[in-house]
Chain A
Amino acid sequence: MAITFKDVTHVYQADGPLAFEGLSHVSFEIPTGSFSAIIGQTGSGKSTLVQHMNALLKPTSGTIQIGKRLITPETKNKHLKPLRQEVGMVFQFPEQQLFAETVLEDISFGPQNFGVDAATAKKIALQMLELVKLPASVADKSPFDLSGGQMRRVAIAGVLASKPQVLILDEPTAGLDPQGHEELMELFAQLHQQGKTIILISHQMEDVAQYAQQVLVMDQAHLVRTASPQSIFNDIEFLNQHHLMQPESTQFAQELVQKGFEFAQLPITETQIIRELLKQLGGLHG
């Protein structure tokens, strides 16, 4: 499902003395089936931006096209239920939204809410548990007896159970250990390969470099650039200007350049830098 923002502005507390702009004249397009990342400092407007994608927030001005639906400042909440089923949102710390008595009930709540019968919803919930790599034995436990990492998976399974076409992920791996982090990122890559449109908010430039096809850079409520990760992470002046870091591989490649190495383009992932180094260090290694 493609998403198109046209000149979208969002003003928080528009009528009060504390009014401030969360988004300012933002326009971009996210193609169907793509993996996009949104980066920018904390407070730059990333979360505000994605909350417009399933109309949790509505634009103060401008329009948003999501698939066949058009969201305008006048859109009423009444007709938004199908949209919320199609656009799944994993918020920061999704485990805080768990509520049911068992893991299974929690995960099957979404599908039931969107009209699936209880037996089918249960079947879907068990499939989702497997998808997020949790053992079936947790199904009847209280979600609150699980560890933080497991709770995160239950919450994500709950979003996936509604079978959304678009998946929005707001810092989905914050606070997870490295193994949990990697497993979740691989899950998202797998969902992308299956055709879902993925939108990831992240401070982890390694993930952005490795997984995203397109990167949107936010700074103080403005969208300042939409480009490939390769082009953004090679532009150090731009990154400094917006207080962003390069991936570690790119930083290290830059040190190598100072020694005398040459790269046509700076590598942005570990796979790229290793491949490039092996090439440059000679035929030894085939």
Chain B
Amino acid sequence: MNPIISLKDVTFTYDNANKSALNKINLTVKPQQWVAIVGLNGSGKSTLAKLINGILPADSGTITVAGEKLTEQSLWNIRRKIGIIFQNPDHQFVGATVEDDVAFGLENQNMPRKQMVQRVAWALDQVQMSAFKNKAPQTLSGGQKQRVAIAGVIALQPQIIIMDESTSMLDPNGRRDILKIIRKLQQQLGITILSITHDLSEIVEADQVVILKRGIIEKTATVAEIFADPTRLTAWGLRPPFTQRLQLSLLQAGVLLTKKYQTKQGLADELWQLRSKM
């Protein structure tokens, strides 16, 4: 299958910076994949997203999106294929009501009214926000706002959605709902997902994890491979999961744990066995 996004030797340096923000990046993303992009703050994650969307122009190298090479001419066509969900839902609203807001992008594309009404209804239904269509966006909770923002994005039927820290402002329940909806859309509509994140619950959704470090791709791996070596996680801007942290502390304190348990259940079982032997 042809990749939906491909970067070849892409380099980008900000004005006045003495070092490249991204240096000879090579990356291919297959259609309908969920790819997490991780790394410390300043490693180049957001810059990468901005290059793919043509917000920033690469100094050298080529970027291809859905079979089309990114150039000044193809820019607008490519942007139509990509939807972005930002970190702060409050910054994404333009309409007086939820419905108006979702329709905004479609109006810009001069979609006929009848089709637009249908499309808005469909998009709100996908994110389970139809009941709120006449409400003012600012009266919604953060999770609801982010769902409306997603509706606005999918109404335009993009092939790719970029999530730029888009669950970091949400409480754990809100985050879980959003990830569930994105997962459903990815599977049902065949959308490719690029998620920029530090959050473990978001990373575990990914088919592929790309680790950026000081502007280069340090590693591309599966979620299981990434978490196999918890000692490296911090350097990649990730926090080892709770069970791994706890295990490490107990081992260091001299508790004789036998196996490397990944699950809470496994660790709880072994701790109880140790306790029973006391």
Residues of chain A whose beta carbon lies under 8 Å from any beta carbon of chain B: 18, 20, 41-44, 92-93, 142, 145, 147-150, 171, 174-180, 203, 243-245, 248-249, 251-252, 255-256, 258-261, 270, 273-274, 277-278, 280-282, 284-285
Contacts and interface: CB of A to CB of B under 8 A. Distances in A.
A177 B265 contact: no
Contacts of B142: 42-43
Nearest to A255: B268
A7 B174 CA distance: 30
Contacts, number: 127
B112 interface: no
A285 B41 contact: no
A278 B42 contact: no
Interface residues of B, number: 50
A42 B174 contact: yes
**Max chain B Cβ within 10 angstroms of own Cβ: one of A148, A244, A274, A281:** A281
A244 B174 CA distance: 11
A178 B169 contact: no
A18 B255 contact: no
Contacts of B265: 255
Q: What are the nearest 6 A-B pairs in CB distance?
A: A42-B142, A147-B42, A43-B141, A149-B41, A177-B237, A259-B272
B246 A252 contact: yes
Given A148-B42, A176-B41, A256-B271, A41 B174 contact: yes
B1 interface: no
B88 A93 contact: yes
A105 B234 CA distance: 33
A186 to B, nearest CB: 15
B253 interface: yes
Given A93-B88, A177-B198, 20 more contacts: A18-B136, A42-B174, A43-B141, A147-B41, A147-B42, A149-B40, A150-B42, A174-B87, A174-B165, A174-B169, A178-B239, A180-B40, A252-B268, A259-B268, A260-B276, A270-B249, A274-B246, A278-B250, A278-B253, A285-B255
A277 B174 contact: no
Residue with the greatest number of chain B CB neighbours at <10 A, chosen from A171, A177, A273: A177
A150 to B, nearest CB: 7
Nearest to B175: A203
Given A18-B139, A93-B87, A281 B274 contact: yes
Contact of B275 (A150, A171, A245, A261): A261
Contact of B255 (A150, A171, A278): A278
Interface string B216-244: 00000000000000000010011100110
A92 B274 CA distance: 45
A43 B169 CA distance: 11
A176 B42 contact: no
Contacts of B249: 270, 274
Contacts of B275: 260-261, 280-281
